[in-house]
Amino acid sequence: MDYPSFSKLLLVGFAIGTIFGGTSIQAATIHPTPQHAWRYSQKSAWYHDDSTSKYYRQVWDKANATWSKKGFNWKKTKGSSKTTVKNVKSNDIAWVGMTWTNNPSGMYIHKNLVVVNQTLLNKLRYTKQQQINVAAHELGHALGIHHNHDNSISVMNPANRYYGIQNCDVAGMKKIYSKKYVGRSKLKSLATTNVSRGFVSHDYASETIKQPAALKLQAKTIVRAKVAQVSDDQDFYSRIKLQQVEVLKGKFDANKNVRQSGNSFNDVADSQVLKTGEEVILALADNGDHYLPVASGNSIFVATAQANSYQQLSTGLHFELADFNLN
């Protein structure tokens, strides 16, 4: 997939599909869904639907209508707008939804691109209502709310598939929009004095994907290597060049780099950009001219001071080299 390039800073919110299904009975989430530092100037915004099918136009219409009923008024336009929604077909990695947010002042949203991945939604047999839930999750990012915790009953559950907009989500939306609006003259000053960083977030429906045993099943390639070079790539990515590569599973083409989310302009949730000289274990997917970690920070392990011990970027948990033994 060719990602749109923005020269400004980006927020990316991903909702990732699950390969390991299942639900459990849980109590309602009480506390307001967390908020980002940025928002629209008011509880209303225009959006343009650039979907390629009637089906996905209906998905976005339903998701937007639900938010409108809950207090944030999404208004559809045929012209240009700050927010564009669409469906895409991508075999890139296992994400079902994604949001880019441009907020140069650090306070107010300048631009959103909100997408759902038709390919994976269909592959994982999401119902239409579940796809609407994913779209509503992404629109939550687009209006300024963050992820709720992993076990939350919330449309902003990091790997939401089953939940619509809950009271906690409405409370989070109202909390951020209860703050006083800052005028244009103040915004202009903020835009020149603040250094607003982008933020990249990846989310997976199954906690089991965080375990080496699951990653060994999902990844076609697992390597142990040293980071030779890190450089900014387009959008919110870095390119990682590896050396001293030991292949633990599959095959590795030394002529290809690893493309990792996050760079010098964009932070990454539950992860961080690798540094030159670090020893790592990576669970990878072949994406043509480069490799991708199969599950973002879940599939990146950095060596600790203890011999043969590696810390997982997403969780901070420590694993031994033997945990990646494929025998």
Q: pLDDT, tens digit, for every residue of 17-30?
A: 544 444 444 678 89
Given a cut of 90, whether residue 130 has pLDDT beyond it is yes
* Spatial distance between the Cα atoms of 51 and 31, rounded to a whole number of angstroms: 34
Residue 124 has which token pair?
């994982």
Residue keyed to tokens 């989500």: 169
* pLDDT for 12 beyond 70: no
Other residues' Cβ atoms within 10 Å of the Cβ of residue 75: 11
Range with the poorest average pLDDT among 17-31, 47-61, 117-131:
17-31
CA-based torsion, 313, 315, 317, 319: positive or negative:
negative
Given this model, what pLDDT does residue 268 score? Answer: 75
Each residue's pLDDT tens digit, 281-299: 999 988 889 998 887 788 8
Q: What is the pLDDT of residue 241?
A: 98
Taking the whole predicted model, whether its pTM rises above 0.95 is answered as no
Average of per-residue pLDDT across 203-215 = 66
Q: In this predicted structure, what is the pLDDT of residue 15? A: 54
Residue 196 has pLDDT above 90, yes or no: no
**What confidence score (pLDDT) does residue 10 get?**
45
Helix (H) or strand (E) holding 276: none
